[in-house]
């Protein structure tokens, strides 16, 4: 608990540049980062990642009994563990990261549109 408190307090004084560098390191090697978190804070990792991964994997397997394809949107930290748990039960997993979707440019012949309506009834 003390390590977490000190880490949290220290993070309040870190520059934006340092934060961006750390985020890039995490994105580059997520699994290594998760191992480090597990080494420093094993209880937090177990509760926030491992137990949640198991729960989500169980729910996805249940849903797969009724549906052929399932889309699950999860945080990056859950992807390695969740993928491992599902593949243990011979379920194929395709991972598409939000970053990839944001970088994808629409083809010139694709049309994007959005519409909405507002209804108002007076008193």
Q: Which residue has the higher pLDDT, 61 or 30?
A: 61
Task: Using alpha carbons only, give the angle 31, 26, 106 rounded to the nearest 5 degrees.
Answer: 100
**Residue 7's pLDDT band (cuts 50, 70, 90):** low
Q: Are 44 and 37 in contact (CB under 8 A)?
A: yes
Q: Are 57 and 29 in contact (CB under 8 A)?
A: no
Q: DSSP for 28-95? A: HSHHHHHHHHHHH-HHHHIIIIIHHHHHHHHHHHHHHHH-S-------GGGHHHHHHHHHHTT-----
Dist CA 37 CA 44 (whole Å): 8
**Residue 60's pLDDT band (cuts 50, 70, 90):** very high
Which pLDDT tens digit goes with each residue over 61-110? Answer: 999 999 999 999 999 889 999 999 999 999 999 998 887 877 877 666 66
């Amino acid at each position: 608990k003390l390590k977490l408190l000190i880490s949290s307090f220290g993070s309040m004084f870190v520059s934006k540049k340092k934060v961006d560098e750390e985020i890039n390191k995490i994105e580059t090697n997520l699994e290594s980062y998760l191992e480090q978190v597990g080494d420093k804070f094993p209880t937090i990792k177990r509760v926030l990642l491992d137990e949640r991964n198991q729960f989500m994997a169980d729910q996805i397997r249940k849903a797969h009994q009724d549906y052929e394809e399932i889309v699950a949107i999860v945080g990056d930290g859950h992807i390695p563990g969740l993928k491992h748990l599902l593949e243990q039960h011979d379920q194929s997993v395709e991972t598409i990261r939000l970053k990839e979707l944001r970088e994808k440019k629409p083809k010139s012949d694709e049309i994007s549109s959005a519409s909405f309506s507002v209804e108002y009834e007076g008193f």
